[in-house]
Homo-oligomer: A and B are copies of this chain.
Amino acid sequence: MKKYDVAVLGATGMVGQRFIEGLVDHPFFNLTALAASERSAGKRYEDCAKWYIEGEMPEEVRDVKVVKVDPEEVQADIVFSALPNPIAVDAEPAFAEAGSIVCSNASSYRMTEDVPLLIPEVNPEHLDLIDVQREKRGWEGAIITNPNCSSTMFVLPLKPVYEKFGIENMFVATLQAVSGAGYSGVPSMAILDNVIPYIPKEEHKDETESLKMLGRFDGEKIIPADFTISAVCHRVPTLDGHLESCFVKTREEATIEEIKAAMRDFTALPQELKLPTAPVPPVIVREEENRPQTRLDRDAGNGMAVTVGRVREDPILSFKFTCLGHNTIRGAAGASILNAEMLVKTRGL
């Protein structure tokens, strides 16, 4: 199979490193360029990036000369964007205009009408929104986004429930790891022996991005799912892994066994296509009363699976449950890479 040239934008940060981790030795992609801020441009990657992840910086990138985030300097079929929003807002369209597919983890364009917000297991058909996007904007490339790191974890297991039984409304309380804020985002003085019940903009993202993903593509635009989500987000002293507890009301009655079966048996296009990083199964349903746990379950499916547990009756709504996934893999870099795998496997570029 032809390998596509890919680049990482924002390559020195934590999500950028997760991109590198996932793209080195990837069967579909050749990692050909690393782009970062002016401060790093021109230096060897090893000289400007402090490697944050357990294990060593991959040999393949140590000597790569980092370039500026500029389409002139980066030739790639696909660029993976771990850019901060203020940079992403201009840079991503520039790359798309220059002909690259931008698989973005930034939030800038997630809710933009003609930009797909994609979880390949959930709404693969939204990918065709890039045809609308290209036509409207006259781009050769396109922008494809993945959702924020906390909504992924509940949207994935709820997808089969939504399909089978409908959802009327839901409440979600998240317990999010510090890596979600970037390497330097949460000072240790802020979080040791502490919980912070606030993450800027996160609740709004959970309450809106999820509905776009569960929405219907009518060939022109996405019609968001017709229910309401109420979210409350907490930062807790864990390194990686967002754990979330949900209270859900379905439209049609379903037993707990039916809910669990729907989640457990859920499989989707990425699994059928055997995409390289698609977890099998995408949702793991555990029966122990005290699982999922952040540290024990975040690496399930190489960080790409969501683990669900404690599915039980809710005294007010229909059921409640807890879910967990790795926020910088399934919730960020891994999500974008799976989006790109989906793209090249189903559409070429």
Contacts and interface: CB of A to CB of B under 8 A. Distances in A.
Interface in A307-323: 309-310, 314-317, 320, 322
Nearest to A172: B173
Interface in A174-221: 175, 178-179, 183-198, 207
Contacts of A192: 178, 188, 192-193, 237-239, 295
A348 interface: no
Contacts of A291: 197
The size class of the interface chain A forms with chain B is 35 or more
A195 B243 contact: yes
A290 B14 CA distance: 19
A15 to B, nearest CB: 12
Contacts of A236: 175, 195, 236-237
A230 interface: yes
A322 B236 CA distance: 15
A54 B295 CA distance: 7
Nearest to A176: B195
B316 A195 contact: no
Contact of A296 (B54, B234, B247, B295): B54
A77 B198 CA distance: 42
8 contacts: A187-B188, A193-B193, A193-B295, A195-B293, A232-B245, A232-B310, A232-B320, A234-B245
10 nearest A-B residue pairs (beta carbon): A173-B173, A198-B290, A194-B295, A197-B322, A232-B245, A178-B188, A188-B188, A195-B294, A184-B187, A186-B188
